[in-house]
Amino acid sequence: MSEDKKGYLSAGNQKKVTTHRLQEMKQHGEKISMLTAYDYSMASVIDQAGIDVILVGDSASNVMAGNTTTLPITVDQMIYHGKSVMNGVKRAMVVVDMPFGSYQGNPYEAVTNAVRMMKETQADCLKLEGGKEVIESIRAILHAGIPVMGHLGLMPQSINKYGTYAVRAKEEDEAGKLLEDARMLQKVGCCAIVLEKIPAELAGKVTAELVVPTIGIGAGPYVDGQVLVMQDMLGLNKGFSPRFLRRYADLFGVVTSAVQQYVQDVKSSGFPSAEESY
């Protein structure tokens, strides 16, 4: 990594996406694209395809490990995924989720976990769910010089409290609290805020008021960027079809046909051929 005349970090001829760049994008009205990735191979593909931000989400718990919630994933497992992604990325900003239980307690433990995650993954930023309730942990992590991305609205680590994955903040009370939390996250110094599954109008209101970028998932169009879980947008996860999800490919179909063809070729001794042998 080197620095050009304007002080931008660059890898080869590619300008690295940084927290500063996200701020510029908001100021210039340039939308931020973000996708999740959990491994080296997929991270390299989406980085060279031009994604701005890669989120090593704790959704790895669902997507990679097959758990029904994000709660079981550990700091060690997030570090493994974060490091794998970092090995494949040159340009995108890489954000790693702090897992459930690693920051909700005392701020000292939160900083200890955050420092370890940054040292061992070499990621660019960490993401934490919550507002007022976890603000002291967020403040302490920021004081350690670690960039933090906030996450409000539907917070999957709190699924057992909600009891449902329905849209959040439809009522005035919860919408008001979300706005207050967003202001608080901006005030302490978060570099961006993910808004998950909330009414488009509320997301637009938060986005218009804040100077830090908002990145939506199921939060409508009036935000500064969009994020999707990669396996969902590539059509690998057939059983998950929320209204906000747009499928850009049918990888389930592509992989199924390729594997069926391979099985047939092996069974019929059609693979390998003489040219594929030594």
Residues that bind ligand KIV (CB under 6 A): 36, 55, 57-59, 97, 194, 196, 217, 227, 229
Residue nearest to ligand KIV (CB): 57
- DSSP annotation string for 4-22: -TT--EEETTEEPP-HHHH
- Whose tokens are 């199924």? That residue is 256
Phi, psi of 98 (to 5 degrees): -80, 130
- Would you say 59 and 21 are in contact if contact means Cβ atoms under 8 Å apart? no
Q: How far is the CB of 168 from ligand KIV (least distance, A)?
A: 13
Could you give the residue ranges of the DSSP H alpha helices within 122-229? Answer: 135-143, 159-162, 172-188, 200-209
Q: How far is the CB of 94 from ligand KIV (least distance, A)?
A: 13
- Whose tokens are 């994008």? That residue is 25
Could you give the residue ranges of the DSSP H alpha helices within 166-249? Answer: 172-188, 200-209, 230-233
Which is the catalytic residue, given 120, 136, 172, 196?
Answer: 196
- Sheet containing 9-11, strands listed edge to edge, beginning at the edge strand earlier in sequence: 2-3, 9-11, 14-15
Q: How far is the CB of 14 from ligand KIV (least distance, A)?
A: 24
172 included as an active-site residue? no
| Nearest alpha-carbon partner for 118 in 84, 82, 72, 73 | 82
Q: How far is the CB of 196 from ligand KIV (least distance, A)?
A: 6
Q: List the catalytic residues.
A: 196
